[in-house]
Structure 1
């Protein structure tokens, strides 16, 4: 590709995006949620999570995904007035019924107790049912890592993944996420991935742009492997690694839906259509590493440096900018911005 063509593509990309300050982006998200019917607590929690995803480089589950929430508020798939209910059947267990609301709200309200209990007990498990899909799963563990905790999270979602070509949808994309504090307390190790060969938002984005997808991502509605993104939307995603990925999906289903009492992925309502509540499950295990190894963060940082020096890919380790200065900006697709502003 010529230098001139590259410049033109870059200029076109800039023309199709708009930069907003962190404050402007947060206020826009919050106002759109309120306009769509969400109560203030829900609007604040979702706005914070949306901006955090953008700042951390997870744009696919940032403002584009906010549109799924806004549509679901209005359609009744999310309880706009949700008030999560909590109980603790054992000292190290926290259970949340999200009351049909967003997953982030229940977590936000439980997090102070989760951090305190983990500091006191060494290990705590938080599990939640009856929520909309979890959004960026790394958001939950990232926040706990900033508190000095090691965290592992899993969640399930409506069935969209076939265990193998020729099979039907049996699992959600069922993401898992892990985070651990490092020597730089503001740049934890964060791993966030789905069990599917790609995230659903990537498949949907390719279909909207009319782009093909790589082999091994999905099957069409007849069960045959396809690189046609539109056909894949009518079919199913594939689990990464074949049977091994499907086994991990099953383990996540046991932890996310089994422990919480949420719906199995096969029984979940569509998170994009209809008015039925999704009833997704979320389970987080938090560990206080310093109780076992006071130098845990330093040792892990050194080990990651050794791995990187030997060519290993080390995810995360970027600054978490949730409390970014007002001068910082996020860049958002103008089509997405126009759709969000349409709710105001």
Structure 2
């Protein structure tokens, strides 16, 4: 697979220019460009620049409000609610984040909940930024229904991801966990289909309801929840928090996020906690515990790479040449 390397500055400028070229307002373009670069650098690259293509098509075809101005209010001191106005989820979060962090430090716990947005992109992006501010964050979001609870059922949930982040002793390298309620993320299935690769058994079913290792057949069928009914229950809990609290659409009621001109109306809820309210050594103790777990081996340890708070700090990003060419066609 051919790749091209861009500086973070050039990559962010490219993403921003592409958004502006399809009519997005400056605030939306800046917000989405930063999130795209962050996903490429520190999260799952598949929801970085490849996913930017979904946003660009969404702007052009009307699934995303290009001129959205989120409406934010606080019905209670510890709750911040955003109506994304049919735009991207990242912009409403950006506007609310200063108050979210301030309220968490003051009150100990705060909830940010948002509806009426496009799908949230890399969910780890939101909690990673909050952990850099020294707070614990748990985020959940829902998306159009593409997941069945069991092979014999019909689609009922989105991939309904959840993400968690906590500050560690090295404030620039938080603990970040980001995973879907489905057996895999939708972007992984799409990529496998594009590359003609087989997928592990247990990821998806075909259109007849049979478990398949053919990625293209999986796209015509549906994803499976991880762990059967246990994963389906997690997906339901995520949806209760993401769509239920925010007032967003249930996954079953959402339109296709890749086709048509209807707003998705996805939900996002983030719970933030001030970890030093009881124990001022929280970050040190957690860091020591993670080191102890790592020493024992045999346990998956989420990435704890240093994270730059600003993508303006120079770095390099590898982008698939085909994806890069498709993005440049929007300019």
Same fold (TM over 0.5): yes
- Which aligned segments of 4 or more residues in structure 1 are displaced greater than 4 angstroms? 324-327
**SS of match in other structure, 2:127:** helix
State yes or no: 1:302 paired with 2:291: no
Among residues 50, 61, 64, which one is paired with 2:50 in the alignment? 64
CA distance in 1: counterparts of 2:79 and 2:5, whole angstroms? 42
Quote the offset at 1:48 in angstroms.
Answer: 0.2
Cα deviation, 1:244-297, whole Å, max 9, x if unaligned, reads 000000000100000111000000011000000000000000000111110000
State yes or no: 1:335 paired with 2:322: yes
Quote the offset at 1:72 in angstroms.
Answer: 0.2
Quote the offset at 1:239 in angstroms.
Answer: 0.3
Deviates more, 1:196-205 or 1:319-328: 319-328
Are the equivalent residues in 2 in contact too, given 1:218–1:227 (CA < 8 A)? yes
Quote the offset at 1:326 in angstroms.
Answer: 5.2
Quote the offset at 1:325 in angstroms.
Answer: 6.1
Aligned to 1:247: 233
Q: Which runs of 5+ in 2 are unaligned?
A: none
CA RMSD in angstroms, aligned pairs only: 0.9
Structure having the higher Rg: 1
What's the TM-score once normalised by structure 2's chain length?
A: 0.98
Among residues 209, 213, 221, which one is paired with 1:227 in the alignment? 213
Quote the offset at 1:324 in angstroms.
Answer: 5.0
Judged with a 3 Å threshold, the aligned counterparts in structure 2 of structure 1 residues 324 and 99 are, in CA distance, closer, same or farther, namely: closer
Quote the offset at 1:185 in angstroms.
Answer: 0.1
Cα deviation, 1:207-258, whole Å, max 9, x if unaligned, reads 1111111100000011110011111101000000000000000000100000
CA distance in 2: counterparts of 1:51 and 1:20, whole angstroms? 11
Deviates more, 1:193-202 or 1:305-314: 305-314
Are the equivalent residues in 1 in contact too, given 2:37–2:311 (CA < 8 A)? no
**SS of match in other structure, 1:89:** strand
**SS of match in other structure, 1:94:** strand
**SS of match in other structure, 1:338:** helix
CA distance in 1: counterparts of 2:314 and 2:247, whole angstroms? 44
Q: What is the 5 A alignment of 1:108-147?
A: 108-147=94-133
Q: What is the 5 A alignment of 1:51-130?
A: 51-130=37-116
